[in-house]
Structure 1
Protein backbone atom coordinates (compact mmCIF):
# COMPACT_ATOMS: atom_id res chain seq x y z
CA UNK A 1 0.00 0.00 0.00
CA UNK A 2 2.77 2.44 0.94
CA UNK A 3 4.76 1.44 -2.13
CA UNK A 4 1.79 2.09 -4.45
CA UNK A 5 1.10 5.45 -2.80
CA UNK A 6 4.77 6.41 -3.09
CA UNK A 7 4.85 5.50 -6.78
CA UNK A 8 1.69 7.50 -7.56
CA UNK A 9 2.95 10.55 -5.68
CA UNK A 10 6.43 10.31 -7.21
CA UNK A 11 5.11 10.00 -10.77
CA UNK A 12 2.62 12.83 -10.22
CA UNK A 13 5.40 14.99 -8.80
CA UNK A 14 7.60 14.33 -11.83
CA UNK A 15 4.76 15.19 -14.20
CA UNK A 16 3.70 18.37 -12.40
CA UNK A 17 7.21 19.78 -11.83
CA UNK A 18 8.33 19.16 -15.42
CA UNK A 19 5.27 20.91 -16.85
CA UNK A 20 5.90 23.83 -14.46
CA UNK A 21 9.59 24.11 -15.34
CA UNK A 22 8.91 23.99 -19.08
CA UNK A 23 6.38 26.83 -18.71
CA UNK A 24 8.78 28.93 -16.60
CA UNK A 25 11.63 28.67 -19.08
CA UNK A 26 9.18 29.12 -22.01
CA UNK A 27 10.31 26.20 -24.16
CA UNK A 28 6.85 24.95 -24.96
CA UNK A 29 4.68 22.29 -23.46
CA UNK A 30 5.92 19.04 -21.97
CA UNK A 31 4.38 15.74 -23.01
CA UNK A 32 4.71 13.14 -20.25
CA UNK A 33 2.55 10.66 -22.16
CA UNK A 34 -0.72 9.12 -21.14
CA UNK A 35 -0.80 9.31 -17.34
CA UNK A 36 -2.58 5.98 -16.53
CA UNK A 37 0.05 4.19 -18.62
CA UNK A 38 2.82 6.34 -17.20
CA UNK A 39 2.01 5.23 -13.65
CA UNK A 40 2.56 1.60 -14.69
CA UNK A 41 5.77 2.45 -16.58
CA UNK A 42 7.31 4.31 -13.59
CA UNK A 43 6.30 1.68 -11.03
CA UNK A 44 9.32 -0.71 -11.46
CA UNK A 45 11.81 2.16 -11.02
CA UNK A 46 9.87 3.40 -8.01
CA UNK A 47 10.05 -0.07 -6.46
CA UNK A 48 13.86 0.11 -6.58
CA UNK A 49 13.89 3.69 -5.21
CA UNK A 50 11.47 2.78 -2.42
CA UNK A 51 13.43 -0.33 -1.38
CA UNK A 52 16.72 1.59 -1.31
CA UNK A 53 15.21 4.46 0.70
CA UNK A 54 13.45 2.12 3.14
CA UNK A 55 16.65 0.10 3.56
CA UNK A 56 18.73 3.24 4.21
CA UNK A 57 16.19 4.45 6.77
CA UNK A 58 16.20 1.07 8.54
CA UNK A 59 20.01 1.06 8.70
CA UNK A 60 20.04 4.64 10.04
CA UNK A 61 17.39 3.84 12.66
CA UNK A 62 19.29 0.76 13.84
CA UNK A 63 22.47 2.82 14.06
CA UNK A 64 20.74 5.52 16.11
CA UNK A 65 19.24 2.93 18.43
CA UNK A 66 22.56 1.11 18.93
CA UNK A 67 24.30 4.44 19.57
CA UNK A 68 21.73 5.34 22.24
CA UNK A 69 22.13 1.92 23.85
CA UNK A 70 25.91 2.28 23.88
CA UNK A 71 25.57 5.73 25.46
CA UNK A 72 23.20 4.38 28.13
CA UNK A 73 25.53 1.47 28.89
CA UNK A 74 28.50 3.83 29.18
CA UNK A 75 26.59 6.10 31.57
CA UNK A 76 25.49 3.09 33.63
CA UNK A 77 29.07 1.87 33.85
CA UNK A 78 30.24 5.37 34.80
CA UNK A 79 27.56 5.56 37.49
CA UNK A 80 28.67 2.20 38.90
CA UNK A 81 32.30 3.34 39.06
CA UNK A 82 31.22 6.58 40.77
CA UNK A 83 29.33 4.62 43.42
CA UNK A 84 32.44 2.51 44.05
CA UNK A 85 34.42 5.66 44.75
CA UNK A 86 32.13 7.12 47.44
CA UNK A 87 32.57 4.35 50.07
CA UNK A 88 36.29 4.29 49.23
CA UNK A 89 36.56 7.98 50.22
CA UNK A 90 34.45 7.49 53.34
CA UNK A 91 36.59 4.56 54.51
CA UNK A 92 39.81 6.59 54.07
CA UNK A 93 38.36 9.65 55.84
CA UNK A 94 37.01 7.69 58.82
CA UNK A 95 40.26 5.75 59.04
CA UNK A 96 42.10 9.09 59.37
CA UNK A 97 39.70 10.14 62.15
CA UNK A 98 40.24 6.89 64.03
CA UNK A 99 44.00 7.47 63.95
CA UNK A 100 43.55 10.93 65.43
CA UNK A 101 40.79 10.53 68.00
CA UNK A 102 43.08 9.22 70.76
CA UNK A 103 45.66 11.96 70.14
CA UNK A 104 43.46 15.05 69.82
CA UNK A 105 39.72 14.70 70.40
CA UNK A 106 38.95 18.28 69.32
CA UNK A 107 40.67 17.86 65.97
CA UNK A 108 38.99 14.50 65.41
CA UNK A 109 35.62 16.11 66.17
CA UNK A 110 36.38 18.93 63.70
CA UNK A 111 37.28 16.34 61.05
CA UNK A 112 33.97 14.53 61.59
CA UNK A 113 32.08 17.82 61.31
CA UNK A 114 33.78 18.60 57.99
CA UNK A 115 33.24 15.06 56.71
CA UNK A 116 29.51 15.56 57.36
CA UNK A 117 29.62 18.83 55.39
CA UNK A 118 31.37 17.06 52.52
CA UNK A 119 28.82 14.22 52.49
CA UNK A 120 25.91 16.68 52.55
CA UNK A 121 27.40 18.37 49.49
CA UNK A 122 27.70 15.07 47.64
CA UNK A 123 24.07 14.26 48.45
CA UNK A 124 22.96 17.65 47.10
CA UNK A 125 24.74 16.92 43.83
CA UNK A 126 22.48 15.87 40.91
CA UNK A 127 21.55 12.19 40.72
CA UNK A 128 23.94 11.68 37.83
CA UNK A 129 27.46 10.35 37.29
CA UNK A 130 28.33 13.83 35.96
CA UNK A 131 28.74 17.10 37.84
CA UNK A 132 29.94 20.62 37.07
CA UNK A 133 33.57 21.59 37.58
CA UNK A 134 32.35 24.31 39.96
CA UNK A 135 30.86 21.65 42.26
CA UNK A 136 33.96 19.49 41.89
CA UNK A 137 36.08 22.43 43.05
CA UNK A 138 33.73 22.94 46.02
CA UNK A 139 34.11 19.27 47.00
CA UNK A 140 37.89 19.51 46.58
CA UNK A 141 37.98 22.48 48.97
CA UNK A 142 35.81 20.68 51.50
CA UNK A 143 38.00 17.58 51.36
CA UNK A 144 41.16 19.63 51.81
CA UNK A 145 39.53 21.39 54.79
CA UNK A 146 38.98 17.94 56.31
CA UNK A 147 42.67 17.23 55.84
CA UNK A 148 43.58 20.63 57.27
CA UNK A 149 41.79 19.63 60.47
CA UNK A 150 44.01 16.57 60.52
CA UNK A 151 47.38 18.18 59.64
CA UNK A 152 46.67 21.65 61.06
CA UNK A 153 49.22 24.24 59.86
CA UNK A 154 51.24 21.69 57.93
CA UNK A 155 48.74 21.64 55.03
CA UNK A 156 48.52 24.59 52.66
CA UNK A 157 46.62 24.47 49.39
CA UNK A 158 45.65 26.75 46.50
CA UNK A 159 42.97 26.19 43.86
CA UNK A 160 42.73 28.20 40.66
CA UNK A 161 39.88 27.49 38.24
CA UNK A 162 39.03 29.34 35.04
CA UNK A 163 35.55 30.82 35.37
CA UNK A 164 34.86 29.70 31.79
CA UNK A 165 35.38 26.08 32.83
CA UNK A 166 33.08 26.05 35.87
CA UNK A 167 29.89 24.96 34.07
CA UNK A 168 31.52 22.08 32.18
CA UNK A 169 30.30 18.62 33.21
CA UNK A 170 32.83 15.96 34.18
CA UNK A 171 32.51 12.63 36.06
CA UNK A 172 31.54 13.20 39.69
CA UNK A 173 34.47 13.15 42.16
CA UNK A 174 36.93 12.75 39.28
CA UNK A 175 39.53 14.88 41.05
CA UNK A 176 39.09 13.20 44.43
CA UNK A 177 41.53 10.25 44.08
CA UNK A 178 44.20 12.54 42.59
CA UNK A 179 43.90 14.96 45.51
CA UNK A 180 43.89 12.08 48.00
CA UNK A 181 47.14 10.84 46.46
CA UNK A 182 48.68 14.30 46.74
CA UNK A 183 47.74 14.39 50.44
CA UNK A 184 48.88 10.84 51.10
CA UNK A 185 52.24 10.98 49.30
CA UNK A 186 52.95 14.71 49.00
CA UNK A 187 54.45 15.53 52.40
CA UNK A 188 57.87 17.10 52.37
CA UNK A 189 60.28 14.39 53.64
CA UNK A 190 62.09 16.81 55.95
CA UNK A 191 59.46 19.17 57.35
CA UNK A 192 56.34 17.03 56.92
CA UNK A 193 54.59 20.02 55.32
CA UNK A 194 51.98 19.56 52.60
CA UNK A 195 51.76 22.13 49.81
CA UNK A 196 49.17 21.28 47.16
CA UNK A 197 48.43 23.37 44.09
CA UNK A 198 45.40 22.72 41.86
CA UNK A 199 44.99 24.52 38.52
CA UNK A 200 42.06 24.05 36.13
CA UNK A 201 42.31 25.75 32.74
CA UNK A 202 40.13 25.75 29.62
CA UNK A 203 41.97 26.00 26.31
CA UNK A 204 41.15 24.84 22.77
CA UNK A 205 38.04 22.94 23.89
CA UNK A 206 40.09 20.98 26.43
CA UNK A 207 39.95 21.20 30.21
CA UNK A 208 43.42 20.81 31.67
CA UNK A 209 43.66 19.87 35.37
CA UNK A 210 47.04 20.01 37.11
CA UNK A 211 47.56 18.87 40.71
CA UNK A 212 51.04 19.30 42.14
CA UNK A 213 52.49 18.42 45.51
CA UNK A 214 55.97 19.03 46.95
CA UNK A 215 56.68 15.56 48.31
CA UNK A 216 59.42 13.07 47.46
CA UNK A 217 58.26 12.74 43.85
CA UNK A 218 56.46 10.44 41.49
CA UNK A 219 58.22 7.29 42.66
CA UNK A 220 56.24 7.45 45.91
CA UNK A 221 52.84 7.32 44.17
CA UNK A 222 51.11 3.97 44.51
CA UNK A 223 48.42 3.27 41.95
CA UNK A 224 45.66 1.82 44.10
CA UNK A 225 41.91 1.54 43.69
CA UNK A 226 41.35 5.29 43.42
CA UNK A 227 43.63 5.86 40.42
CA UNK A 228 42.52 2.65 38.74
CA UNK A 229 38.93 3.79 39.15
CA UNK A 230 39.81 7.20 37.68
CA UNK A 231 41.32 5.63 34.56
CA UNK A 232 38.29 3.41 34.06
CA UNK A 233 35.90 6.33 34.44
CA UNK A 234 37.83 8.41 31.92
CA UNK A 235 37.84 5.53 29.46
CA UNK A 236 34.12 4.89 29.99
CA UNK A 237 33.18 8.54 29.42
CA UNK A 238 35.72 9.74 26.85
CA UNK A 239 37.40 6.67 25.35
CA UNK A 240 40.94 7.52 24.26
CA UNK A 241 40.18 11.26 24.02
CA UNK A 242 41.00 11.92 27.70
CA UNK A 243 44.53 11.75 29.11
CA UNK A 244 45.81 11.08 32.64
CA UNK A 245 49.52 11.62 33.27
CA UNK A 246 51.49 11.12 36.47
CA UNK A 247 55.01 12.51 36.52
CA UNK A 248 57.74 14.04 38.67
CA UNK A 249 58.14 17.81 38.75
CA UNK A 250 61.69 18.97 37.87
CA UNK A 251 61.71 21.18 40.99
CA UNK A 252 60.53 18.34 43.22
CA UNK A 253 57.22 16.72 44.01
CA UNK A 254 54.73 14.91 41.79
CA UNK A 255 52.23 16.16 39.21
CA UNK A 256 48.91 14.63 38.22
CA UNK A 257 47.58 15.98 34.95
CA UNK A 258 44.21 15.48 33.30
CA UNK A 259 43.20 16.54 29.79
CA UNK A 260 39.44 16.27 29.22
CA UNK A 261 37.73 17.09 25.91
CA UNK A 262 34.80 19.50 26.05
Structure 2
Protein backbone atom coordinates (compact mmCIF):
# COMPACT_ATOMS: atom_id res chain seq x y z
CA UNK A 1 0.00 0.00 0.00
CA UNK A 2 2.80 2.43 0.91
CA UNK A 3 4.58 1.69 -2.40
CA UNK A 4 1.33 2.32 -4.27
CA UNK A 5 0.86 5.63 -2.48
CA UNK A 6 4.39 6.81 -3.29
CA UNK A 7 4.00 5.88 -6.95
CA UNK A 8 0.57 7.48 -7.45
CA UNK A 9 0.72 10.32 -4.91
CA UNK A 10 1.22 13.18 -7.36
CA UNK A 11 -1.28 11.90 -9.98
CA UNK A 12 -3.82 11.33 -7.20
CA UNK A 13 -3.37 14.84 -5.81
CA UNK A 14 -3.60 16.26 -9.34
CA UNK A 15 -6.85 14.35 -9.94
CA UNK A 16 -8.35 15.67 -6.69
CA UNK A 17 -7.35 19.22 -7.63
CA UNK A 18 -8.93 18.93 -11.08
CA UNK A 19 -12.17 17.51 -9.64
CA UNK A 20 -12.29 20.27 -7.02
CA UNK A 21 -11.70 22.97 -9.64
CA UNK A 22 -14.44 21.64 -11.89
CA UNK A 23 -16.91 21.46 -9.00
CA UNK A 24 -15.87 24.93 -7.84
CA UNK A 25 -16.42 26.41 -11.30
CA UNK A 26 -19.92 24.92 -11.40
CA UNK A 27 -20.71 26.13 -7.87
CA UNK A 28 -19.34 29.59 -8.63
CA UNK A 29 -21.91 30.16 -11.36
CA UNK A 30 -24.76 29.14 -9.07
CA UNK A 31 -23.24 31.25 -6.27
CA UNK A 32 -23.22 34.38 -8.43
CA UNK A 33 -26.77 33.83 -9.61
CA UNK A 34 -27.79 33.57 -5.94
CA UNK A 35 -26.29 36.97 -5.15
CA UNK A 36 -23.05 35.85 -3.51
CA UNK A 37 -20.40 38.51 -3.06
CA UNK A 38 -17.33 36.46 -2.07
CA UNK A 39 -16.15 34.42 -5.09
CA UNK A 40 -13.67 32.42 -3.03
CA UNK A 41 -16.43 30.76 -0.98
CA UNK A 42 -17.46 28.14 -3.60
CA UNK A 43 -13.80 27.15 -3.94
CA UNK A 44 -13.51 26.73 -0.17
CA UNK A 45 -16.67 24.62 -0.03
CA UNK A 46 -15.69 22.27 -2.84
CA UNK A 47 -11.98 21.99 -2.00
CA UNK A 48 -12.76 21.22 1.67
CA UNK A 49 -15.20 18.51 0.62
CA UNK A 50 -12.89 16.96 -2.00
CA UNK A 51 -9.86 17.09 0.33
CA UNK A 52 -11.63 15.16 3.08
CA UNK A 53 -13.13 12.65 0.64
CA UNK A 54 -9.68 12.20 -0.93
CA UNK A 55 -8.27 11.14 2.43
CA UNK A 56 -11.25 8.94 3.27
CA UNK A 57 -11.10 7.27 -0.16
CA UNK A 58 -7.65 5.90 0.68
CA UNK A 59 -8.98 4.28 3.83
CA UNK A 60 -11.99 2.96 1.90
CA UNK A 61 -9.67 1.46 -0.73
CA UNK A 62 -7.73 -0.31 2.01
CA UNK A 63 -10.99 -1.59 3.53
CA UNK A 64 -12.19 -3.00 0.20
CA UNK A 65 -8.83 -4.70 -0.23
CA UNK A 66 -8.95 -6.20 3.27
CA UNK A 67 -12.46 -7.56 2.66
CA UNK A 68 -11.53 -9.34 -0.59
CA UNK A 69 -12.25 -13.03 -0.41
CA UNK A 70 -14.45 -12.69 2.65
CA UNK A 71 -18.05 -14.03 2.55
CA UNK A 72 -20.53 -11.54 1.09
CA UNK A 73 -22.62 -11.25 4.30
CA UNK A 74 -19.51 -10.25 6.22
CA UNK A 75 -18.55 -7.72 3.54
CA UNK A 76 -22.02 -6.17 3.53
CA UNK A 77 -22.02 -5.95 7.34
CA UNK A 78 -18.62 -4.22 7.30
CA UNK A 79 -19.81 -1.70 4.68
CA UNK A 80 -23.04 -1.08 6.63
CA UNK A 81 -20.91 0.03 9.58
CA UNK A 82 -18.33 1.87 7.48
CA UNK A 83 -20.82 3.98 5.49
CA UNK A 84 -22.14 6.03 8.46
CA UNK A 85 -18.59 6.45 9.75
CA UNK A 86 -17.52 7.65 6.29
CA UNK A 87 -20.35 10.19 6.16
CA UNK A 88 -19.77 11.50 9.69
CA UNK A 89 -16.02 11.83 9.06
CA UNK A 90 -16.70 13.66 5.81
CA UNK A 91 -19.17 16.08 7.38
CA UNK A 92 -17.00 16.71 10.42
CA UNK A 93 -13.78 17.16 8.45
CA UNK A 94 -15.34 19.30 5.74
CA UNK A 95 -17.09 21.74 8.07
CA UNK A 96 -14.12 21.77 10.40
CA UNK A 97 -11.92 23.05 7.54
CA UNK A 98 -14.52 25.59 6.51
CA UNK A 99 -14.95 26.97 10.04
CA UNK A 100 -11.16 27.23 10.38
CA UNK A 101 -10.77 29.23 7.15
CA UNK A 102 -13.75 31.47 7.90
CA UNK A 103 -12.32 32.14 11.36
CA UNK A 104 -8.91 33.06 9.90
CA UNK A 105 -10.40 35.57 7.44
CA UNK A 106 -12.80 36.98 10.03
CA UNK A 107 -16.00 36.11 8.20
CA UNK A 108 -19.03 34.64 9.96
CA UNK A 109 -20.25 31.23 8.83
CA UNK A 110 -23.38 29.39 9.94
CA UNK A 111 -23.90 25.92 8.46
CA UNK A 112 -27.32 24.28 8.40
CA UNK A 113 -28.58 22.51 11.47
CA UNK A 114 -27.29 18.96 12.07
CA UNK A 115 -30.41 17.01 10.98
CA UNK A 116 -30.48 18.89 7.67
CA UNK A 117 -26.76 18.31 7.16
CA UNK A 118 -27.09 14.60 7.89
CA UNK A 119 -29.92 14.20 5.40
CA UNK A 120 -28.45 16.41 2.67
CA UNK A 121 -24.80 15.35 2.97
CA UNK A 122 -25.59 11.78 4.01
CA UNK A 123 -27.43 11.09 0.77
CA UNK A 124 -24.53 12.38 -1.32
CA UNK A 125 -22.03 10.50 0.83
CA UNK A 126 -23.91 7.23 0.28
CA UNK A 127 -23.63 7.69 -3.51
CA UNK A 128 -19.96 8.65 -3.17
CA UNK A 129 -19.24 5.68 -0.91
CA UNK A 130 -20.84 3.14 -3.24
CA UNK A 131 -19.09 4.68 -6.27
CA UNK A 132 -15.70 4.53 -4.57
CA UNK A 133 -16.34 0.94 -3.46
CA UNK A 134 -17.03 -0.10 -7.05
CA UNK A 135 -14.00 1.78 -8.37
CA UNK A 136 -11.79 0.37 -5.63
CA UNK A 137 -12.99 -3.16 -6.27
CA UNK A 138 -12.19 -2.73 -9.96
CA UNK A 139 -8.69 -1.51 -9.09
CA UNK A 140 -8.06 -4.46 -6.78
CA UNK A 141 -9.34 -6.90 -9.40
CA UNK A 142 -7.12 -5.35 -12.09
CA UNK A 143 -4.15 -5.49 -9.73
CA UNK A 144 -4.87 -9.14 -8.88
CA UNK A 145 -5.20 -9.96 -12.59
CA UNK A 146 -1.85 -8.27 -13.32
CA UNK A 147 -0.18 -10.14 -10.47
CA UNK A 148 -1.74 -13.37 -11.67
CA UNK A 149 -0.42 -12.72 -15.18
CA UNK A 150 3.05 -12.06 -13.77
CA UNK A 151 2.91 -15.25 -11.70
CA UNK A 152 1.78 -17.22 -14.74
CA UNK A 153 4.52 -15.71 -16.88
CA UNK A 154 7.13 -16.48 -14.22
CA UNK A 155 5.83 -20.05 -13.88
CA UNK A 156 5.99 -20.48 -17.65
CA UNK A 157 9.56 -19.16 -17.76
CA UNK A 158 10.60 -21.46 -14.91
CA UNK A 159 8.90 -24.41 -16.62
CA UNK A 160 10.60 -23.59 -19.92
CA UNK A 161 13.99 -23.26 -18.20
CA UNK A 162 13.48 -26.57 -16.38
CA UNK A 163 12.43 -28.23 -19.63
CA UNK A 164 15.45 -26.86 -21.47
CA UNK A 165 17.72 -27.99 -18.63
CA UNK A 166 16.22 -31.48 -18.82
CA UNK A 167 16.75 -31.60 -22.57
CA UNK A 168 20.33 -30.36 -22.21
CA UNK A 169 20.99 -33.01 -19.57
CA UNK A 170 19.93 -35.67 -22.07
CA UNK A 171 22.67 -34.66 -24.52
CA UNK A 172 25.67 -35.60 -22.42
CA UNK A 173 24.59 -39.15 -21.38
CA UNK A 174 23.54 -39.91 -24.96
CA UNK A 175 26.87 -38.72 -26.29
CA UNK A 176 28.81 -40.40 -23.49
CA UNK A 177 27.26 -43.84 -23.87
CA UNK A 178 27.74 -43.91 -27.62
CA UNK A 179 31.33 -42.77 -27.33
CA UNK A 180 32.13 -45.38 -24.69
CA UNK A 181 30.62 -48.04 -26.93
CA UNK A 182 32.87 -46.90 -29.75
CA UNK A 183 35.94 -47.01 -27.53
CA UNK A 184 35.05 -50.44 -26.18
CA UNK A 185 35.09 -51.83 -29.71
CA UNK A 186 38.85 -51.18 -30.01
CA UNK A 187 39.82 -51.90 -26.42
CA UNK A 188 40.97 -55.49 -27.06
CA UNK A 189 42.45 -54.75 -30.48
CA UNK A 190 44.73 -51.86 -29.50
CA UNK A 191 45.03 -51.09 -25.77
CA UNK A 192 47.28 -48.07 -26.24
CA UNK A 193 44.86 -46.60 -28.76
CA UNK A 194 41.88 -47.18 -26.46
CA UNK A 195 43.81 -45.49 -23.63
CA UNK A 196 44.45 -42.43 -25.79
CA UNK A 197 40.78 -42.30 -26.73
CA UNK A 198 39.72 -42.51 -23.08
CA UNK A 199 42.06 -39.66 -22.12
CA UNK A 200 40.72 -37.57 -24.98
CA UNK A 201 37.20 -38.41 -23.92
CA UNK A 202 37.91 -37.37 -20.32
CA UNK A 203 39.15 -33.98 -21.53
CA UNK A 204 36.10 -33.57 -23.73
CA UNK A 205 33.70 -34.45 -20.90
CA UNK A 206 35.29 -31.85 -18.64
CA UNK A 207 34.67 -29.26 -21.33
CA UNK A 208 31.07 -30.35 -21.86
CA UNK A 209 30.37 -30.20 -18.11
CA UNK A 210 31.68 -26.64 -18.02
CA UNK A 211 29.58 -25.78 -21.08
CA UNK A 212 26.39 -27.13 -19.49
CA UNK A 213 26.89 -24.88 -16.48
CA UNK A 214 26.81 -21.82 -18.76
CA UNK A 215 23.53 -22.83 -20.49
CA UNK A 216 24.67 -21.00 -23.64
CA UNK A 217 27.93 -19.93 -25.21
CA UNK A 218 29.41 -18.76 -28.50
CA UNK A 219 29.63 -20.73 -31.73
CA UNK A 220 33.42 -20.61 -31.32
CA UNK A 221 33.13 -22.39 -27.96
CA UNK A 222 30.64 -24.90 -29.39
CA UNK A 223 33.00 -25.77 -32.23
CA UNK A 224 35.76 -26.22 -29.65
CA UNK A 225 33.66 -29.15 -28.36
CA UNK A 226 32.63 -30.51 -31.74
CA UNK A 227 36.16 -30.67 -33.12
CA UNK A 228 37.64 -32.97 -30.42
CA UNK A 229 34.58 -35.20 -30.68
CA UNK A 230 35.19 -35.60 -34.40
CA UNK A 231 38.84 -36.25 -33.69
CA UNK A 232 37.75 -39.11 -31.44
CA UNK A 233 35.59 -40.47 -34.22
CA UNK A 234 38.44 -40.16 -36.71
CA UNK A 235 40.61 -42.16 -34.33
CA UNK A 236 37.85 -44.76 -34.18
CA UNK A 237 37.15 -45.10 -37.91
CA UNK A 238 40.46 -43.89 -39.29
CA UNK A 239 41.12 -40.80 -41.47
CA UNK A 240 40.61 -42.90 -44.59
CA UNK A 241 36.97 -43.56 -43.57
CA UNK A 242 36.06 -40.25 -41.97
CA UNK A 243 36.99 -36.83 -43.35
CA UNK A 244 36.16 -33.81 -41.18
CA UNK A 245 35.53 -30.27 -42.42
CA UNK A 246 34.74 -27.38 -40.06
CA UNK A 247 34.14 -23.91 -41.49
CA UNK A 248 32.78 -20.86 -39.64
CA UNK A 249 33.16 -17.18 -40.48
CA UNK A 250 34.33 -14.71 -37.84
CA UNK A 251 30.88 -13.08 -37.46
CA UNK A 252 29.20 -16.45 -36.91
CA UNK A 253 31.73 -17.47 -34.26
CA UNK A 254 30.64 -14.53 -32.08
CA UNK A 255 26.95 -15.54 -32.09
CA UNK A 256 25.59 -17.23 -28.99
CA UNK A 257 23.60 -20.46 -28.98
CA UNK A 258 22.48 -23.09 -26.43
CA UNK A 259 25.39 -25.14 -25.13
CA UNK A 260 25.94 -28.56 -26.76
CA UNK A 261 23.48 -27.77 -29.55
CA UNK A 262 25.62 -29.24 -32.32
CA UNK A 263 26.93 -32.37 -30.60
CA UNK A 264 23.77 -34.41 -31.24
CA UNK A 265 23.52 -33.75 -35.00
CA UNK A 266 27.27 -34.25 -35.43
CA UNK A 267 27.03 -37.50 -33.50
CA UNK A 268 24.13 -38.58 -35.72
CA UNK A 269 26.19 -37.83 -38.82
CA UNK A 270 28.86 -40.18 -37.53
CA UNK A 271 26.76 -42.89 -35.91
CA UNK A 272 23.95 -43.15 -38.44
CA UNK A 273 25.88 -42.38 -41.62
CA UNK A 274 29.61 -42.97 -41.34
CA UNK A 275 29.14 -46.31 -39.64
CA UNK A 276 26.68 -47.39 -42.37
CA UNK A 277 28.71 -46.45 -45.44
CA UNK A 278 31.20 -48.88 -46.95
CA UNK A 279 33.51 -46.17 -48.22
CA UNK A 280 34.78 -42.78 -47.13
CA UNK A 281 32.37 -40.22 -45.67
CA UNK A 282 32.93 -36.49 -45.32
CA UNK A 283 31.26 -34.83 -42.33
CA UNK A 284 31.16 -31.05 -42.57
CA UNK A 285 30.05 -28.44 -40.06
CA UNK A 286 29.46 -24.91 -41.36
CA UNK A 287 28.37 -21.76 -39.56
CA UNK A 288 27.69 -18.39 -41.15
CA UNK A 289 25.97 -15.22 -40.14
CA UNK A 290 23.35 -13.86 -42.54
CA UNK A 291 22.11 -10.48 -41.35
CA UNK A 292 20.82 -10.99 -37.82
CA UNK A 293 20.46 -14.75 -38.33
CA UNK A 294 22.85 -17.59 -37.61
CA UNK A 295 22.85 -20.45 -40.12
CA UNK A 296 24.27 -23.83 -39.09
CA UNK A 297 24.70 -26.73 -41.51
CA UNK A 298 25.77 -30.26 -40.58
CA UNK A 299 26.08 -32.64 -43.54
CA UNK A 300 27.64 -35.92 -44.55
CA UNK A 301 28.40 -37.21 -48.02
CA UNK A 302 29.79 -40.63 -48.80
CA UNK A 303 31.76 -41.93 -51.74
CA UNK A 304 29.27 -44.76 -52.16
CA UNK A 305 25.93 -43.79 -53.62
CA UNK A 306 23.77 -45.73 -51.16
CA UNK A 307 24.52 -46.51 -47.50
CA UNK A 308 24.23 -50.01 -46.16
CA UNK A 309 21.01 -49.09 -44.32
CA UNK A 310 18.64 -46.19 -44.75
CA UNK A 311 19.09 -43.44 -42.15
CA UNK A 312 16.33 -42.45 -39.79
CA UNK A 313 14.33 -39.70 -41.59
CA UNK A 314 13.59 -38.02 -38.25
CA UNK A 315 17.24 -37.97 -37.22
CA UNK A 316 16.81 -40.16 -34.14
CA UNK A 317 16.64 -39.15 -30.49
CA UNK A 318 19.36 -36.53 -30.82
CA UNK A 319 17.52 -34.48 -33.44
CA UNK A 320 14.17 -34.84 -31.69
CA UNK A 321 15.92 -33.43 -28.64
CA UNK A 322 17.35 -30.64 -30.81
CA UNK A 323 13.90 -29.72 -32.15
CA UNK A 324 12.49 -29.47 -28.64
CA UNK A 325 15.40 -27.35 -27.43
CA UNK A 326 15.04 -24.93 -30.33
CA UNK A 327 11.28 -24.70 -29.85
CA UNK A 328 11.62 -24.10 -26.12
CA UNK A 329 14.38 -21.51 -26.50
CA UNK A 330 13.38 -19.62 -29.68
CA UNK A 331 9.83 -20.69 -30.56
CA UNK A 332 8.99 -19.91 -34.18
CA UNK A 333 12.11 -17.74 -34.52
CA UNK A 334 14.23 -20.86 -35.17
CA UNK A 335 13.88 -23.22 -38.13
CA UNK A 336 15.20 -26.75 -38.65
CA UNK A 337 15.32 -28.78 -41.85
CA UNK A 338 16.68 -32.32 -42.13
CA UNK A 339 16.68 -34.62 -45.12
CA UNK A 340 18.55 -36.39 -47.91
CA UNK A 341 21.14 -34.43 -49.83
CA UNK A 342 22.86 -36.22 -52.70
CA UNK A 343 24.67 -39.22 -51.27
CA UNK A 344 24.08 -38.26 -47.65
CA UNK A 345 21.99 -36.24 -45.21
CA UNK A 346 22.00 -32.53 -44.36
CA UNK A 347 20.72 -30.68 -41.34
CA UNK A 348 20.08 -26.93 -41.61
CA UNK A 349 19.33 -24.80 -38.57
CA UNK A 350 18.62 -21.06 -38.56
CA UNK A 351 18.15 -19.05 -35.39
CA UNK A 352 18.52 -15.46 -34.18
CA UNK A 353 22.12 -14.36 -33.74
CA UNK A 354 22.64 -12.87 -30.29
CA UNK A 355 26.14 -11.70 -29.46
The Cα of 1:53 is off from its aligned counterpart by 4.8
> Does residue 181 of structure 1 match 2:272?
no
- Relative distance call for 1:221 and 1:159 in structure 2 (3 A) is same
Cα gap change, 1:188/1:97 in structure 2, threshold over 3 Å: closer, same or farther? closer
Match of 1:134 in 2: 220
1:186-210 CA deviation, whole Å, 9 max, x = no partner?
3398762121111112224322111
The 1:256–1:162 alpha-carbon spacing in structure 2 relative to 1, beyond 3 Å, is same
CA positional deviation for 1:13: 4.3
The TM-score normalised by the length of structure 2 is 0.60
Tell me the TM-score normalized by structure 1. 0.79
**Secondary structure of the structure 1 residue equivalent to 2:185:** helix
CA drift of 1:153 comes to: 1.7
Within the candidate set 72, 95, 104, 2:181 is matched to 95
Which residues in structure 2 correspond to 1:69-80 (within 5 Å)? Answer: 69-80=155-166
Structure number with the higher helix fraction is 2
Q: Which residue of 2 aligns with 1:244?
A: 336
Comparing both chains, which one has the higher relative contact order based on Cα–Cα distances under 8 Å and sequence gaps of 6 or more?
1
Report if the CA contact (8 A) 2:20-2:50 is conserved: no
Distance 1:15 1:138 in 2: 68
Deviations 1:194-229 (A, max 9, x none): 211111122243221111110347x83223322222
Aligned residues: 250
Preserved CA contact (<8 Å) 2:204 2:225? yes
Structure 2 gap segments, 5+ residues each: 23-38, 58-127
TM-fit CA distance, 1:55: 4.0
| Structure 1 residues not aligned, in runs of 5+ | 19-28
Q: Distance in 2 between matches of 1:203 and 1:145?
A: 29
RMSD (Å), alpha carbons = 3.5
Q: Please give the per-residue CA displacement for 1:150-194, whole angstroms capped at 9, x wherever unaligned.
A: 122222212122333334332221111110111123339876212
Larger radius of gyration: 2
